[in-house]
Amino acid sequence: MKDLNETNNPYCDDKVIDACSIFGMMNTTGERFSGECVIRAIANMHVRGNGLGGGFAIYGIYPEYAGCYAFHIMYLSREGKSEVEDFLKDRFRFMTAEEVPTRRTQKIVNPPLVWRYFLEVDQQKCNGQPQDDYVMDRVMEINTRIKDAFVFSSGKDMAVFKGVGYPEEIAEYFCLEEYEGYLWTAHGRFPTNTPGWWGGAHPFSILDWTVVHNGEISSYGINRRYLEGFGYHCTMQTDTEVIAYAVDLLVRKHGLPMEIVAKILAPPFWDDIERCPEDEQKLFRTLRQVYGSLLLNGPFTVIIANHGEMIGFTDRIRLRPLTAGVKDSVLYLSSEESAIRLICPDLDQAWIPMGGEPVVGSLERPIVSKGVTIAERNEAPC
Amino acid sequence: MENKVIKRTASPIDRIDATGFSSRELNARIRELAHNGTERVELYNVYGQRYIGTDLDRPIEVKIFGTPGNDLGIFMDSPRITVYGNAQDGCGNTMNDGEIVVHGHAGDIAGLSARGGKIFIRDDVGYRTGIHMKEYGDKKPALVIGGTSQDFLGEYMAGGILILLGLNLQKEEAHRTNFIGTGMHGGVIYLRGSINDFQLGKEVGTAEPEEKDWQILRKFISEFADHFGYNAEEILEHKFIKLFPLWLRPYGRLYAY
């Protein structure tokens, strides 16, 4: 494991108390839109963060390279870059490599190098492994073995931009107003227990998965050990990382639908299970028994995204906030309703889902929220 | 939407366009107006500014068009705030006196630690509504909710009156709220509509409302109906349940021996 002391806690801020801001916006028709409104929305929750982390995930961003794995990699030194590039050249077909465009701003100090690579996998090099598994293993190798290099994202037609700063500053730095996507998630950070550094900003990502998170995963240790058994190595020093790997394992490798994943990460209480119909009891008991080590304990709200899908939910007793909104085919998820209203004042519906109950936006089907408490009933004007 | 209960006064209305205002700037502006004798102020384009109405100690009328931020009316002492929209988390946090009327829903911990005044919410509320509301002498906060509530309603409640009307529930539909009154050790909760025993915290008992309870219900439900255009009598015809704390110190036996 490489030494991270240099990047550790450069602001000496190791214990502060506030909240992060998270925001997600998806057009379920797949129509792409500029990030301008997402940037305004996350900036509206400026006071929730403290400038020690901001980031965005964008899906549908690179249609011209839709078939390639788009690697966004952060380098803390030139040596890291050349070592990674040698590593990648041996293992992938290079389509394009370029520095991620940035603009000089006063707010972003001492930024690392960030490059992006559009890569194809040579089937012969996989040795029979599925391509996604091959790519995941290479990401883990870079993160754990090569000094001064961290993979921000590695999926197809998607990308993560993140760093130390307020999210609107990160957006300005990476010129995000120039990109389009059909699904955006955003995060403003207030680091609590782990350092504010570029790799520790959200979203966390593996392959097509991204996670933005508000809260604290007190089960991090047990989740991490469980995931290590499946080849996932946590290197970003932040609890949220385990969620990205957990959904990759559960959905991509184990083939479970997102609604079930939500019931693994935030399972119903045993008392509630006992009051369920018999077949559901059996299901929930089985999930808790098989995947007990992936239960996320502690307060959290997450927005998890994948190609064609965005899902938001909180812990079971909702110790962190989440509001959902819908306007036509667009689903909004946010820490605060005001951020949604700012960019869409005339929502069709705005509601607050029950703790642990997922709100799902998908390209495949209508927007789902099981157990809606507000939207179905609230016909009155807001 | 017209608010029927606002008394017509001769004083002019001050209007503030809150676009681009930080929480601090907006509250400073309201405070300045109040100091200069303004009795009515309307806020437009409110998007998440926090603590609106904090530190105001006179009965100024504040109308909010938009979505006010967290801790609306925190620590306030007698203003009347009307929100034409939804409130976020912490609405009425530790308010001492005054009134908050929300023409929409409210997020988590509405009425948190309130020690006086009244809060009326037309639709639903989130988690931990009325958590640690308290009372002393004639200071007795009241929180009336038109819709239903999410979990931990009245958690650690130490005083005051909490009324949950469930007006948007279907016939025969029970409230979904779990852990009602967990840790409750003071005050009273009135529920209109049905619940199951397992939804109650271990620290609450149930009873039929008595005549003095109906007096309280009539008073606050009439005010609620006036605010939102309901018929109070129709609301009162329904069955109500009274929830009260079983012990003054529910965890006394846990920590003291």
Q: Is B22 left (phi over 0), alpha (psi -120 to 50) or beta?
A: beta
Confidence (pLDDT) at A372: 45
pLDDT at A378: 41
Cα Rg of chain B, angstroms: 18
What residues contact residue B152 under an 8 Å CB cut-off, 6+ apart? A317, B127, B128, B129, B131, B178, B179, B180, B182
Q: What is the mean pLDDT of residues A193-214?
A: 90
The contacts of residue A110 (CB under 8 Å, 6+ apart) are none
The answer to whether A357 faces chain B, any CB pair under 8 Å, is no
What 3-state DSSP class applies to B234?
Answer: helix
**Of residues B57 and A5, more confidently modeled:** B57
For the segment A298-323, the average pLDDT, to the nearest whole number, is: 95
Res. A172: pLDDT tops 90: yes
* Domain covering B86-255 assigned CATH 2.160.20.60 in the classification: yes
Going from N- to C-terminal start, the domains of chain B cover 86-255
Rounded to an integer, what distance in angstroms lies between the CA atom of residue A243 and that of residue A212?
9
Q: Give 3-state DSSP helix, strand, coil % of chain A, rounded to 5.
A: 30, 25, 40
Cα separation, B236 vs A318, whole angstroms: 32
* CB count in 10 Å sphere of residue B97: 17
Q: How many CA atoms lie within 13 A of B67 on its CB side?
A: 25
* CB-based contact B67 A47, cutoff 8 Å: no
Q: Work out the pLDDT band at A194, boundaries 50, 70, 90.
A: confident
Mutate one of B64, B86, B228 to test the A interface: name it (highest A CB count within 10 A). B86
Q: Three-state SS for A331?
A: strand
Residue owning tokens 């290479």: A138
- Give the list of residues 6+ apart from residue A106 with CB closer than 8 angstroms, or none: none
Give the Cα-Cα-Cα angle B208, B210, B212 (nearest 5 degrees): 145
Residue A4 pLDDT class (50, 70, 90 cuts): very low
Say what the alpha-carbon torsion angle A337, A326, A38, B53 is, to the nearest 10 degrees.
Answer: -20
Looking at chain B, the number of H-run helices and the number of E-run strands are 4, 11
B2 confidence band (pLDDT: 50, 70, 90): very low
Averaged pLDDT, A322-329: 94
* pLDDT given at position A380: 36
Sheet of A300-306, strands arranged across: A204-206, A209-215, A300-306, A309-314, A359-362, A368-369
**ipTM of the prediction:** 0.93
The band of A314, judged by pLDDT with boundaries at 50, 70 and 90, is very high
Per-residue confidence (pLDDT) for residue B250, from 0 to 100: 81
Q: Does A370 touch chain B (CB under 8 A)?
A: no
Question: Using one digit for the tens of pLDDT, what is the confidence trace for A78-106?
Answer: 999 999 999 999 999 999 999 999 999 99
Does A193 have pLDDT greater than 90? no
pLDDT (0 to 100) of residue A15: 44
CA angle B237, B241, B245 (to 5 degrees): 150
The residue among B127, B149, B171 with the most chain A CBs within 10 A of its CB, best to mutate, is B127
- Taking a contact as any Cβ pair under 8 Å apart, which residues of chain A between 322 and 341 contact chain B? 323, 336-339, 341
Could you tell me the CA-to-CA distances from B219 to B94, B124, B135 in Å, in that order?
Answer: 23, 21, 18
Res. A18 pLDDT band, cuts 50 70 90: low
Nearest CA in chain B to A347: B85
For residue B104, the chain A residue with the least C-alpha distance is: A382
Of B47, B85, B107, the CB nearest to A352: B107
Instruction: Specify whether the CB–CB gap between A37 and A325 falls below 8 A.
Output: no
d(C-alpha B133, C-alpha A340), whole Å: 30
Q: Judge residue A180's burial from the number of C-beta atoms within 10 Å of its C-beta, 0-12 exposed, 13-18 middle, 19 or more buried.
A: middle
Judge whether A131 and A159 are in contact, CB under 8 Å: no
Percentage of chain B beyond pLDDT 90 is 88
Q: For B15-29, write each residue's pLDDT tens digit.
A: 999 999 999 999 999
Q: Which domains does chain A have, with CATH numbers?
A: 18-217+302-369 (3.60.20.10)
For residue A32, is pLDDT > 60?
yes
What pLDDT, on the 0 to 100 scale, is given for residue A374?
Answer: 33
Q: Are A245 and A193 within 8 A, CB to CB? A: no
Interface of B with A (CB under 8 A): 1, 23, 46-48, 50, 66-70, 85-86, 88-89, 103-105, 107-108, 122-124, 126-127, 147-148, 150-152, 168, 176, 198
pLDDT in the model for residue A3: 44
Average pLDDT over residues A37-53: 94
A266 vs A264: CA distance, rounded Å? 6
Comparing A124-133, A134-143, A293-302, B7-16, the range with the smallest average pLDDT is B7-16
Mean pLDDT across the stretch A135-160? 96
| Residue at B56: amino acid letter | L
Given A12, A20, A126, A276, which residue is catalytic? A20
Give chain B positions within 8 Å (CB) of A351.
105
Q: Which residues contact B191 (CB under 8 A, 6 or more apart)?
A: B164, B166, B175, B180, B240, B241, B243
Q: How many other C-beta atoms are found inside a 10 Å radius of the C-beta of residue A329?
A: 15
Provide the shortest C-alpha distance from residue A176 to chain B (in Å).
22
What confidence tier does A12 reach under pLDDT thresholds 50, 70, 90?
Answer: low
Q: Please answer yes or no on whether B48 and A336 come within 8 Å at the CB atom.
A: yes
Q: What mean pLDDT comes out for the span A150-171?
A: 97
Decide if pLDDT at A276 tops 50: yes
From A15-19, A124-128, B78-82, B150-154, the region with the lowest mean pLDDT: A15-19
**pLDDT grade, residue A74 (50/70/90)?**
very high
Share of chain A above pLDDT 70, in %: 92
**Tokens describing residue B12:** 């002019």
From chain B, the residues in CB contact with A336 under 8 A are 48, 69-70, 88
Looking at residue A369, its pLDDT comes to: 64
Q: What is the pLDDT of residue B10?
A: 55
CB within 8 Å: B127 and A355: yes
The whole-angstrom distance between residue A110's C-alpha and the CA centroid of its chain comes to: 24
A276 a catalytic residue = no
Q: Which of A44, A338, A374 sits opposite B88 (nearest CB)?
A: A338
Is A156 an interface residue toward B (CB < 8 Å)? no
The predicted structure's pLDDT at residue A379 = 40
Mean pLDDT computed over every residue of chain A: 90
A350 part of contact set with chain B, CB < 8 Å: yes
**Which residue's structure tokens are 């936006």?**
A361
Report residue B180: phi and psi, to 5°: -70, 130
A373–B152 C-beta distance less than 8 A? no
Segment B187-240, tens digit of pLDDT:
999 999 999 999 999 999 999 999 999 999 999 999 999 999 999 999 999 999
Q: What is the pLDDT of residues B132-181, one digit of tens each?
A: 999 999 999 999 999 999 999 999 999 999 999 999 998 888 998 999 99
Give the distance from residue A276's alpha carbon to the nearest chain B alpha carbon, in angstroms: 13
Give the angle A339-A344-A348 at the CA atoms, nearest 5°.
Answer: 115
User: What pLDDT, on a 0 to 100 scale, did the predictor assign at position B55?
Assistant: 86
Decide if B47 and A355 are in contact by the 8 Å CB cutoff. no
Are A142 and A151 spatial neighbours (Cβ–Cβ below 8 Å)?
yes
DSSP labels for A185-199? EEEE---SSS---GG
Q: Which residues of A touch B148 (CB under 8 A)?
A: 373
A265 has a pLDDT exceeding 60: yes
Tokens at B151, concatenated: 């979990």
β-bridge partners, A158: A59
A35: tokens are 């990030």
Q: Is A291 helix (H, G, I), strand (E, B) or coil?
A: coil
Look-up: residue for tokens 């040698």?
A86
Whole-angstrom CA distances from A68 to A156, A158, A207 are: 6, 10, 11
**Contacting residues of B for A321, CB less than 8 Å apart:** 88-89, 107-108, 126
Note the pLDDT tens digit of each residue in A336-379. 999 999 999 999 999 999 999 999 999 988 777 654 433 343 44
Helices (H), A16-130: 36-43, 78-91
pLDDT value of position A96? 93
Rg of chain A taking only CA atoms, in angstroms: 20
